[in-house]
Amino acid sequence: MSRLGLGLFLALLLAGCESTHQQMVERGYPPAFADGFQDGCSSGRQAAGTIAGEYRKNVQRYLHERQYENGWDDGFRQCQAMQNSEAQREYHEQFWDERERQWQQEKDRGAARAYRPD
Protein backbone atom coordinates (compact mmCIF):
# COMPACT_ATOMS: atom_id res chain seq x y z
CA MET A 1 0.00 0.00 0.00
CA SER A 2 1.28 3.46 -0.80
CA ARG A 3 1.91 6.10 1.83
CA LEU A 4 -0.68 8.27 0.10
CA GLY A 5 -3.28 5.50 0.47
CA LEU A 6 -2.42 5.00 4.13
CA GLY A 7 -2.52 8.75 4.69
CA LEU A 8 -5.94 8.96 3.08
CA PHE A 9 -7.20 6.06 5.16
CA LEU A 10 -5.95 7.60 8.41
CA ALA A 11 -7.44 10.97 7.47
CA LEU A 12 -10.76 9.29 6.80
CA LEU A 13 -10.70 7.51 10.15
CA LEU A 14 -9.93 10.71 12.04
CA ALA A 15 -12.52 12.86 10.26
CA GLY A 16 -15.31 12.23 12.75
CA CYS A 17 -18.75 10.70 12.75
CA GLU A 18 -19.20 10.51 9.01
CA SER A 19 -18.64 6.99 7.72
CA THR A 20 -15.51 6.07 5.82
CA HIS A 21 -17.73 5.09 2.91
CA GLN A 22 -19.37 8.52 2.77
CA GLN A 23 -16.03 10.29 3.07
CA MET A 24 -14.50 8.25 0.27
CA VAL A 25 -17.41 9.00 -2.06
CA GLU A 26 -17.23 12.70 -1.19
CA ARG A 27 -13.53 12.67 -2.01
CA GLY A 28 -14.27 11.29 -5.46
CA TYR A 29 -13.87 7.56 -5.02
CA PRO A 30 -16.42 5.51 -6.95
CA PRO A 31 -19.19 4.07 -4.74
CA ALA A 32 -18.24 0.53 -5.78
CA PHE A 33 -14.66 1.11 -4.59
CA ALA A 34 -15.94 2.54 -1.30
CA ASP A 35 -18.27 -0.46 -0.86
CA GLY A 36 -15.38 -2.84 -1.45
CA PHE A 37 -13.08 -0.89 0.85
CA GLN A 38 -15.61 -1.00 3.67
CA ASP A 39 -16.15 -4.75 3.29
CA GLY A 40 -12.43 -5.45 2.88
CA CYS A 41 -11.55 -3.34 5.91
CA SER A 42 -13.95 -5.23 8.14
CA SER A 43 -12.58 -8.50 6.78
CA GLY A 44 -8.99 -7.38 7.32
CA ARG A 45 -9.65 -6.50 10.95
CA GLN A 46 -11.30 -9.89 11.45
CA ALA A 47 -8.38 -11.67 9.77
CA ALA A 48 -5.99 -9.90 12.15
CA GLY A 49 -7.86 -11.41 15.08
CA THR A 50 -10.00 -8.56 16.36
CA ILE A 51 -13.56 -9.13 17.44
CA ALA A 52 -14.52 -5.75 15.96
CA GLY A 53 -14.46 -6.98 12.38
CA GLU A 54 -16.48 -9.53 10.51
CA TYR A 55 -15.59 -11.17 7.23
CA ARG A 56 -17.59 -9.55 4.44
CA LYS A 57 -17.12 -10.05 0.74
CA ASN A 58 -19.70 -9.83 -2.01
CA VAL A 59 -18.19 -12.55 -4.17
CA GLN A 60 -20.27 -11.74 -7.24
CA ARG A 61 -19.25 -8.09 -7.14
CA TYR A 62 -15.64 -9.03 -6.39
CA LEU A 63 -15.52 -11.28 -9.44
CA HIS A 64 -17.31 -8.91 -11.82
CA GLU A 65 -16.68 -5.33 -10.62
CA ARG A 66 -13.09 -4.20 -10.84
CA GLN A 67 -13.67 -1.16 -8.58
CA TYR A 68 -15.24 -3.26 -5.83
CA GLU A 69 -12.39 -5.77 -6.13
CA ASN A 70 -9.73 -3.05 -5.88
CA GLY A 71 -11.50 -1.40 -2.94
CA TRP A 72 -11.88 -4.72 -1.13
CA ASP A 73 -8.22 -5.62 -1.61
CA ASP A 74 -7.04 -2.17 -0.48
CA GLY A 75 -9.35 -2.12 2.53
CA PHE A 76 -8.36 -5.64 3.57
CA ARG A 77 -4.61 -4.96 3.40
CA GLN A 78 -4.77 -1.57 5.10
CA CYS A 79 -7.03 -2.56 7.97
CA GLN A 80 -5.30 -5.88 8.58
CA ALA A 81 -1.93 -4.12 8.68
CA MET A 82 -3.23 -1.41 11.01
CA GLN A 83 -4.76 -3.98 13.36
CA ASN A 84 -1.57 -6.06 13.38
CA SER A 85 0.49 -2.93 14.00
CA GLU A 86 -1.72 -1.92 16.93
CA ALA A 87 -1.50 -5.40 18.46
CA GLN A 88 2.27 -5.37 18.05
CA ARG A 89 2.52 -1.91 19.65
CA GLU A 90 0.43 -3.03 22.62
CA TYR A 91 2.54 -6.15 23.09
CA HIS A 92 5.75 -4.15 22.82
CA GLU A 93 4.55 -1.60 25.36
CA GLN A 94 3.54 -4.31 27.80
CA PHE A 95 6.74 -6.31 27.34
CA TRP A 96 9.10 -3.36 27.60
CA ASP A 97 7.24 -1.79 30.52
CA GLU A 98 7.69 -5.03 32.46
CA ARG A 99 11.37 -5.26 31.46
CA GLU A 100 11.95 -1.66 32.55
CA ARG A 101 10.24 -2.29 35.90
CA GLN A 102 12.44 -5.34 36.48
CA TRP A 103 15.56 -3.39 35.51
CA GLN A 104 14.65 -0.54 37.89
CA GLN A 105 14.10 -3.00 40.75
CA GLU A 106 17.45 -4.66 40.12
CA LYS A 107 19.17 -1.27 39.95
CA ASP A 108 17.56 -0.21 43.24
CA ARG A 109 18.60 -3.48 44.93
CA GLY A 110 22.15 -3.01 43.69
CA ALA A 111 22.27 0.54 44.99
CA ALA A 112 20.88 -0.58 48.36
CA ARG A 113 23.61 -3.26 48.62
CA ALA A 114 26.28 -0.75 47.64
CA TYR A 115 25.24 1.80 50.25
CA ARG A 116 24.60 -0.70 53.06
CA PRO A 117 27.12 -0.34 55.87
CA ASP A 118 29.12 -3.44 56.55
pLDDT of residue 61: 96
pLDDT of residue 48: 80
Please name the residues in contact with 50: beta carbons below 8 A apart, sequence gap of 6 or more. 83
pLDDT of residue 14: 46
pLDDT of residue 62: 96
- Segment holding 64, helix H or strand E: helix 59-64
Q: How far is CA 81 from CA 5, 58, 85, 100, 106, in A?
A: 13, 22, 6, 28, 37
pTM of the model: 0.60
In this prediction, the residues of the chain whose per-residue pLDDT falls under 50 are 1, 14-17
Sign of CA dihedral 14, 93, 38, 62: positive
